[in-house]
Amino acid sequence: MKLLVQRRLELGVTQDELNHMLGVADRLVSKWECGVRTPSSFHLYCWADALESEMTIVANDNNLPTPEGTTEKALNDNLLFKVHQNKE
């Protein structure tokens, strides 16, 4: 989720704005970013999409991620995901 937080900050989007963009409860993005709550795969996808990014989801076999710095492990779905800016 660190990459999504970085992307949000790059775009200058506040957590409240992102809550509104995603149609989720107040402070939910904050809880996701702080690790208090874990977003579903669907919410991760919507989060990336709202930040004009793409997310690649790959099944994981419980091994630690190995790609250099661009991949994180989603805590809830045992998935790896990579976030990158859309190039249009």
pLDDT tens digit string along 8-48?
999 999 999 999 999 999 999 999 999 999 998 889 889 99
Which pLDDT score, from 0 to 100, does residue 47 have?
93
Contact indicator for 1, 32 with CB cutoff of 8 Å = yes
pLDDT tens digit string along 37-69?
999 888 988 999 999 988 776 665 655 555 555
Q: What is the pTM of this model?
A: 0.65
More confident residue, 87 or 12: 12
3-state secondary structure of 33: helix
Which pLDDT score, from 0 to 100, does residue 1 have?
77
Cα Dmax for the chain: 35
Backbone angles phi, psi at 52, to 5 degrees: 55, 45
Backbone angles phi, psi at 28, to 5 degrees: -70, -40
- Is the pLDDT at 84 greater than 90, yes or no? no
